[in-house]
Amino acid sequence: MAAHNLKHALFCAIVTLIISYPILGFNLASEGIDVTLEGAKTSTVLGVLLAALIVFLFQLYRDNIMGSLRQLPAVNPLANRKPMEQSKRLKLESTLLTLMIIGALIWPFIASRGAVDLATLVLIYIMLALGLNVVVGLAGLLDLGYVAFYAVGAYSFALLSQYFGISFWFALPIGALLAALFGLVLGFPVLRLRGDYLAIVTLGFGEIIRILLNNMTSLTGGPNGIGGIPDPTLFGMEFGRRVKEEGNTSFHETFGIAYSGEHKVIFLYLIALVLAVITAIAIRRLMRMPVGRAWEALREDEIAAKSLGLSRTAVKLSAFTIGAFFAGFAGTVFASKQGFISPESFVFLESAIILAIVVLGGMGSQMGVILAAIAVTILPELAREFSEYRMAIFGAAMVLMMVWRPQGLMPMRRIHIELKRQE
């Protein structure tokens, strides 16, 4: 019975060897100025051989193994449960949300400075992912250059503060609006494009922005970036040890408490939290409004949408513009958090990570996207121990996720609408 599996199993084992032996079986060692290739320790080689053997045996008896696995009682008792009642689910969701927000509010006062800083980053990614969710999840427009709008937001603040001395609070709306403007500008040439073509063009757009920032040295400082971006102030109170700008007071003196660097970190975290909550609420409303339904209609069937009088131009542009707007928000907060930005922060990998968050979370689902943003930002930090294999683990997690749960962590659920029978 296993005979027909033999060839396949042998092939799999050889592939395992070909892939893992060159990577694990050799080491580079430096001798003076030369680098020489050495065989790895015997234990490693044995490990590789053992792995190949395991793969061979598994493939050989795959049918038996999978068969007996299937007979085991379901590990996950939740897998077969019926969907919850709408009212019950909403209650549970709102309780969870409230708890999450309360937890987020307490967080900075119990956690270490590093943890609060990381949480700020998580919130920035939540804003980005919620914004991209509009473009990709709802409107179905695959945007691979989303990081460009993030960069526009960050650089608007950095440049405005450098050349005009504009503060965070003024730069925030300006940065978001400028990013939205760029979204609109990008929207026009890609109106007719769909799917792969759209992805390529947006990818190019993202790179154009990054390369421009890199090369307009006189304006943006090129690869050196822009430093000295001011921190946000609270009603004219600064969070530094000394007041930098005339007319401002300092936070710790006003309240008569000792100076602590943590105040600033906590304040930034709270700003990011408020903005993330605003983003989530605004987009949640938009999803239930005609414009949100129009985005989804366009994703589902462009021709039918047009036959009902929806203008493809208006719908696509609104998706791009609103998505970009929130990226601009996130960018401004990011610039303020870092105090220094350079084109390095806005590479394609960032776009890919934000997209991965949206896909992992479940396209169109806000809760899913928020959870995925937390997971994707925090997991690499927790896995610092395995620093070398960090990206490999990340990649493997993505692959497994797509195999077992292609619809995402929490797929989007449609809201029930109560109708009254009309006479």
End-to-end CA, the chain: 68
Count CB atoms within 10 A of the CB of residue 161: 20
Which segment (231-239, 256-264, 384-392, 411-419) binds other proteins by CB under 8 A?
411-419
Candidates 89, 241, 405, 416; binder of other proteins (CB under 8 A) is 416
To other proteins, the closest distance from the beta carbon of 76 in angstroms equals: 25
Positions in 301-340 near other proteins (CB under 8 A): 301, 303-312
Which residue's CB is nearer to other proteins, number 126 or number 297?
297
> Does position 106 bind other proteins by CB under 8 A?
no
Which residue's CB is nearer to other proteins, number 242 or number 421?
421
Which segment (168-176, 268-276, 291-299, 397-405) binds other proteins by CB under 8 A?
291-299
20: helix, strand or coil = helix
Spell out the long-range contacts of 233-240 with Cβ–Cβ below 8 A and sequence spacing 24 or more.
Answer: 233/167, 233/168, 233/169, 234/267, 239/263, 239/264, 239/267, 240/264
> Does position 290 bind other proteins by CB under 8 A?
yes
**CB-based contacts of 277: which residues, under 8 Å, 6+ apart?**
101
To other proteins, the closest distance from the beta carbon of 134 in angstroms equals: 13
Which residue's CB is nearer to other proteins, number 306 or number 390?
306
> Does position 28 bind other proteins by CB under 8 A?
no
Positions in 268-287 near other proteins (CB under 8 A): 282, 285-286
Which residue's CB is nearer to other proteins, number 241 or number 416?
416
> Does position 417 bind other proteins by CB under 8 A?
yes
Q: How far apart are CA 330 and CA 344, in angstroms?
A: 17
To other proteins, the closest distance from the beta carbon of 194 in angstroms equals: 16
Which residue's CB is nearer to other proteins, number 122 or number 180?
180
To other proteins, the closest distance from the beta carbon of 274 in angstroms equals: 16
To other proteins, the closest distance from the beta carbon of 285 in angstroms equals: 5
> Does position 296 bind other proteins by CB under 8 A?
yes
To other proteins, the closest distance from the beta carbon of 175 in angstroms equals: 19
Q: How far apart are CA 200 and CA 233, in angstroms?
A: 40
Which residue's CB is nearer to other proteins, number 294 or number 358?
294
Rg of the chain (C-alpha set): 26
Looking up tokens 């690869």 gives: 223
> Does position 297 bind other proteins by CB under 8 A?
yes
Candidates 289, 393, 396, 400; binder of other proteins (CB under 8 A) is 289
To other proteins, the closest distance from the beta carbon of 414 in angstroms equals: 5
Which residue's CB is nearer to other proteins, number 293 or number 390?
293
Please provide the DSSP assignment of 46-111 as one string: HHHHHHHHHHHHHHHTHHHHHHHHHHSPPS-TTTTPPPPPHHHHHHHHHHHHHHHHHHHHHHHHHS
Site for other proteins (CB under 8 A): how many residues? 29
Candidates 176, 294, 335, 369; binder of other proteins (CB under 8 A) is 294
To other proteins, the closest distance from the beta carbon of 316 in angstroms equals: 12
- Going by their DSSP bridges, the two strands 249-250 and 237-238 should be labelled as parallel
Which residue's CB is nearer to other proteins, number 10 or number 191?
191
The answer to whether 129 touches 150, Cβ cutoff 8 Å, is no
Three-state SS string over 305-337 comes to: HHHCCCCHHHHHHHHHHHHHHHHHHHHHHHHHH
**Helix H or strand E segment including 381:** helix 366-382
Candidates 81, 82, 88, 421; binder of other proteins (CB under 8 A) is 421
**Helix H or strand E segment including 28:** strand 26-31
The answer to whether 335 touches 176, Cβ cutoff 8 Å, is no
Which amino acid is located at 92 in the chain? L
Residues contributing to the site for other proteins (CB under 8 A)? 282, 285-286, 289-291, 293-294, 296-297, 300-301, 303-312, 414, 416-417, 419-422
